[in-house]
Amino acid sequence: MRQLIAGNWKMFGKLADVTAFANAVKTAPAGADLLICPPFTLLERFAAALQGSAVAVGAQDCHPLPQGAHTGDISAPMLAEAGAAYVILGHSERRSDHGENNAVVRAKAEAAIAAGLTPIVCVGETEAEREAGEAEHVVRSQLLHSLPPGFAGVVAYEPVWAIGSGRTPTVDDVAAMHAAIRAALLAQLGPAAAELRILYGGSVKPDNAASLLALPEVGGALVGGASLKAEDFLAIASVAQRG
């Protein structure tokens, strides 16, 4: 399976960053599918700067409804109109900062699909849950309750304790979790789930990307901090599997 290398810019980035970053990534040799998810304010600029290239643009959240009196929110059809093809949903920072639970994530995933976007639904355990031996149980439960029936999108496994910490699980732990996620997806969604990409996220850097991306059932990476520099993002993409 051709891997997807997705950059999550979180609440970073200025208008002045867009042109140079877009020019660097759009001329890169295409070893993987590339996606950049900037803050809402840069979405349309990125979409324009990357138009005609193979690099896709995505958002980091959407509201479950297509429109309405919801101050400060942005709907999935609005994202599509701005040029997004993907939307990250249920990131652990949304779950903790905004109290998003699995039911909210599922409603957002349904809204994204209805608007023609590909949702990237994030799951992952906390450090306490891993230490208690509950990591797989927690992730299976998140999948069960966050993914709508017939889900045709991307899943991102991001252990909460690995995000922004410089720590990653061992390659054996990543491989075991991705195998468990694949099994859960097949049980939940049926044979079509064999084709879904399962990304790994959490402190993916140029120096650990090759070992993580070589693992079975790792369909790509969701990259935070290292996606802000085109050079690092491209270094990660350069070791992705072409499938």
Tokens encoding 236: 């990660």
**Residue number, nearest CB to ligand 13P:** 224
Inter-axis angle of helices 40-49 and 15-26, to 10 degrees? Answer: 40
CB 55 within 8 Å of CB 31: no
Q: How many CB atoms lie within 10 A of CB 75?
A: 20
Site for ligand 13P in 68-107 (CB under 6 A): 91
CB 152 within 8 Å of CB 192: yes
Whose Cβ is closer to ligand 13P: residue 180's or residue 226's? 226
Amino acid letter, residue 164: G
Residue 225 is a binding residue for ligand 13P (CB under 6 A): yes
| Residue 158 is a catalytic residue | yes
**Shortest Å distance, C-beta 123 to ligand 13P:** 12
CB 157 within 8 Å of CB 199: yes
**Shortest Å distance, C-beta 122 to ligand 13P:** 7
User: In whole angstroms, what is the distance from residue 168 CA to residue 233 CA?
Assistant: 18
Please identify which of the residues 91, 93, 129, 136 carries the catalytic annotation: 91
| Residue 91 is a catalytic residue | yes
Residue 121 is a binding residue for ligand 13P (CB under 6 A): no
**Shortest Å distance, C-beta 166 to ligand 13P:** 8
Residue 64 is a binding residue for ligand 13P (CB under 6 A): no
The residue within the footprint of ligand 13P, chosen from 49, 78, 89, 223 (CB under 6 A), is 223
Phi, psi dihedrals of residue 117, rounded to the nearest 5°? -95, 155
Q: Identify which range of 142-150, 208-216, 219-227, 230-238 contacts ligand 13P by CB under 6 A.
A: 219-227
Active site residues: 91, 158
